[in-house]
Chains A and B, each alone.
Chain A
Amino acid sequence: MEKMIRTDAFVNEIAALPGGEGVRLCIQCGTCTASCPNADRMEHTPSQLIAMARAGMRDEVLSSDAMWYCLSCYLCTVRCPRGIKQTDLMHALESLAVREGLSHGRTLTPAMYRSFNDFVYSLGSLPEFGFMTWFHLLTNPLRAFRLVPVMLKLLKRGRLSIRARRLTPQGTRQLRAVLDRAESLGGAR
């Protein structure tokens, strides 16, 4: 039997996160899991994450890959019989995991999110196909190669933006100022 010292620390931590308020109300009915398009791919089901959190299994929860499969489709949120904002909770857990350096290796999603953000940070705007190509080259040149036909089509159909939209210099400066301050203020916890 696994020895576990019961602790409220983690559930309190989560309950304090925006979106995490509801964790204590969960009745473990599994509606969220049943409604989730990706539950099968997850190492732990959405409802299981809450159960684990309430059992104080901090590291297991934060290093789980589950939340990284969340598509933000919000089905769980609108169906939850206890009104828990499960989708927001998933994002909160992601942020927490990142802050703890626990973000998961098994899926490329965290890496993808990060480079997405780097793009947004530097450009203030996102040329999505440019970003895609760049990301694939970065992570998996093979897939990038497989996407070549797609990219050609995009190019032919005039959908590949060579030149990304830029903010005005002062706009960029302003955005940077805001984001830098935000980062200095720490996450939304």
Chain B
Amino acid sequence: MERRIGVYICHCGTNISGTVDVEKVTEFARGLDSVVVARDYKYMCSDPGQNLIKEDIKEHGLNRVVVASCSPRMHEPTFRRACQDAGLNQYLFEMANIREHCSWVHEDRAMATEKARALVSAAVRRVYYHEPLETKEVPVNPSVLVVGGGIAGIQAALEVADSEHRVYLVEKEPSIGGHMAQFDKTFPTLDCAACILTPKMTSVGQHPYIQLMTYSEVEDVSGYVGNFKVKIRKKARYIDEGKCTGCGRCQELCPVSVPSEFDCGLGKRKAIYIPSPYAVPNKAVIDPEKCSHLKGLAGGKDVCRLCQTGIEKKGIPGCEADAIDFSQNDEMVEIEVGNIIVATGFQQFDPSVIYQYGYGRYDNVITGLQFERISNASGPTGGEILTADGRRPESIAILHCVGSRDVNYHRYCSRVCCMYSLKYSHLLREKIPEAPVYQMYIDMRCAGSGYEEFYERLQEEGVNFIRGRAGEITNIAETPEEEGKLIVICEDTLIRRKRRIPVDMVILSCALEPRADADQIARIFSLSRKADGFFLEKHPKLDPVATMTDGVFVVGCCQSPKDIPDTVAQASAAASRALAMISKGRVEVEAATAVVDEEHCAGCKICVDLCPYKAISFDEEKKVSRINEAVCKGCGVCVAACPSGAITGRHFTTEQIMAEIEGVLV
């Protein structure tokens, strides 16, 4: 069919015409093959500008349109719509970027004009090969998967469930609650973390629309926006959740005690245990690594089982609910959802790698999380601030930026440490007023509602703020008053002196870092990661919770370090994004997808493994690859890789790109 191309060159006021001789370019365009009309206009994106195009499509029967103006990232949708309105398939349109890529970056008018011509000729040659494409719509499954049971996941799950849509909440630990459940108070308002979190945890546990799957992990995700298939491994708990009443007798009976994860190794738990006083679900779990019976079974021996049998001669019965089931195995569950909210959180930076801070060498150098547990009424010391050897510290130092803002570890600022350090200082001043508290900081970053005021409050409460990063912590005393102390050495940069501060306890305000398994998570959910290792959002400003995989959202600290308010806000945002899609009921999927020409497919399967979206399946009978267009994102990796050239990347066909290359070189 004959090509009838219309070309429109935009002045963009003087943004383009200031550097590019627009008339010359228009003249040049007129001379190009298959071009039936070429015009220039002050503002092509304006209504009159768009109308020019619409009218010409009708009058001159245009079947291809080129607009040379700004970046397609700016106005491609605008002009596509214009074409659509005039009855021309939107994919029969092409744009030449002569502003961002030309008039704005070059000064020499002649050279800029020449380049503009090249770009226009490229667009014309390209559009010649454009084909009409149809965008498809698929229905949306109204169920939502939330991965991670911290405050982010809890919030997202509740918001979706409250709108009476099914939510599957998957948590790898035996209880939900995440890091927030370990905290004592929360800054800057100082309400107790448990007091504001546990009600939410309970309502998750009881919500008719939430199916809670703790001690479970997502192993595989296939499908596409609106229609994901998810494989989940429910790890063997060795407890019948239906029967367990959470009475806790089993953990009293269990003879094996090990360091408690929840108390960051400061307290102990048993091999059979309920993770925390306010665990949800409030059910026991058996640690197969530690349980002597399970380890015995592996060796064919039947030992212990005190939790089950109790101690008869003492007349202490075992589990009365008969909930303990050593025969349990992992089970695989498959669910279908339309949207996925990833809220896998962070992990605390391990400060032992910073040798000079002595974490792991000095008992009284502890991490922030450990302090949260020490200060927490439900913690190993019942909320009393005590050193490792049970003394009441006479002075405490808090070190900022441990693992953050450091090229040797993490370049980024973890954003919450200044604030939680202030919180620690407050708790310390409150619980041991006689003990001086020192905070060694580089910069105080207190941006947030009520944050600076909190800083001011702590200044009033008498905290010693020293502007300098600690160089090292030593126990080698140089003066009598340093004997038996930890000495923090830093420069007080405001008086330009090196100072040695003897203290009894040092709290390291550690960085928030991506979880060790972030890479695996990224692979399962087809997420990208930023240079700092956190998950990449679709747009840092305008689309902060969506990702490049439609229907998959990232919220909370897996996306970047942030405080609780921001986390909750993101969770709500993601929930409403999911709900929006659910209420619309269908989603449009990319039309510029790849398609296999089965005639030419050699069945080498190279493309199958290459596809980052698992969009390509292999038809074992016909021995050809097949692409699920709803899943394909049109990246074209398979197109370039196909040795027999059997795959076509729609709207980025080899033909089209070759033509464009020729074009830019005229």
Contact = CB atoms under 8 A, between A and B. Distances in A.
A34 B407 contact: no
Interface stretch (B33-41, B71-79, B387-395, B467-475): B467-475
A75 B442 CA distance: 19
Contact of A31 (B443, B471, B496, B497): B471
A179 to B, nearest CB: 36
Interface stretch (B369-377, B487-495, B555-563, B648-656): B487-495
Q: How large is the interface on A (under 10, 10 to 19, 20 to 34, 35 or more residues)?
A: 20 to 34
B489 A34 contact: yes
Interface string B312-336: 0000000000000000000000000
B408 interface: yes
Contacts of A45: 491, 493, 496-498
B406 interface: yes
Nearest to B493: A30
B401 A81 contact: yes
Given A33-B498, A34-B472, A39 B491 contact: yes
A100 interface: no
Contacts of A48: 496
Given A30-B491, A30-B493, A34-B490, A81 B408 contact: yes
Nearest to B466: A30
Interface in A13-40: 27-36, 39-40
B469 A81 contact: yes
B496 A35 contact: no
A109 B127 CA distance: 75
A34 B498 contact: yes
B407 A79 contact: no
B30 interface: no
Interface string A71-95: 0000100011111000000000000
B356 interface: yes
B178 to A, nearest CB: 29
Nearest to A40: B498
Contacts of B401: 29, 81
A30 B407 contact: no
B496 A34 contact: no
Interface residues of B, number: 21
A82 B470 CA distance: 14
Contacts of B490: 30, 34
B493 A29 contact: yes
B509 to A, nearest CB: 14
Given A39-B491, A81-B469, A29 B442 contact: yes
Contacts of B468: 29-30, 33-34
A44 interface: yes
A45 B405 CA distance: 22
Of the listed residues B408, B472, B490, B498, the one surrounded by the most CB atoms of chain A closer than 10 A to its CB is B498
Contacts of A44: 496
A64 interface: no
Interface string A104-120: 00000000000000000
A83 B408 CA distance: 8
Contacts of B492: 30
Contacts of B443: 27
B471 A35 contact: yes
A32 B408 CA distance: 14
Nearest to B498: A39
B467 to A, nearest CB: 8
Nearest to A29: B469
Nearest to A22: B407
Interface string B390-425: 000000000001000111100000000000000000
Of the listed residues A29, A39, A44, A48, the one surrounded by the most CB atoms of chain B closer than 10 A to its CB is A29
Interface in B491-513: 491-493, 496-498
A33 B493 CA distance: 9
B413 to A, nearest CB: 11
A164 to B, nearest CB: 40
Contact of B472 (A27, A35, A39): A35
Given A29-B493, A39-B498, A47-B491, A82 B472 contact: no
A27 B467 CA distance: 11
Contacts of B498: 33-34, 36, 39-40, 45
A74 B405 CA distance: 20
Nearest to B406: A81
A41 to B, nearest CB: 10
Contact of A27 (B405, B470, B497): B405
A81 B493 contact: no
A136 B498 CA distance: 31
A48 B468 CA distance: 12
Nearest to B500: A34
Given A30-B491, A45-B491, A83 B407 contact: yes
Contact of B470 (A32, A34, A83): A34
Contact of B491 (A27, A33, A79): A33
A79 B471 contact: yes
Nearest to B488: A34
Of the listed residues B471, B472, B489, the one surrounded by the most CB atoms of chain A closer than 10 A to its CB is B471
A15 to B, nearest CB: 17
Nearest to A25: B407
Contacts of A32: 471, 491
B491 A34 contact: yes
Contacts of A81: 401, 405-408, 469
Interface of B: 356, 401, 405-408, 442-443, 468-472, 489-493, 496-498
Interface of A: 27-36, 39-40, 44-45, 47-48, 75, 79-83
The 4 closest A-B pairs by CB, nearest first: A34-B471, A30-B491, A33-B491, A29-B469
21 contacts: A27-B405, A27-B443, A28-B442, A29-B401, A29-B442, A29-B493, A30-B493, A34-B470, A34-B471, A34-B489, A34-B498, A35-B471, A36-B498, A39-B498, A44-B496, A45-B496, A45-B497, A47-B493, A79-B471, A81-B401, A81-B408
Given A33-B491, A81-B408, A83-B407, 14 more contacts: A27-B405, A27-B443, A29-B401, A30-B469, A31-B469, A34-B471, A35-B471, A44-B496, A45-B491, A47-B491, A75-B471, A81-B407, A82-B407, A83-B408
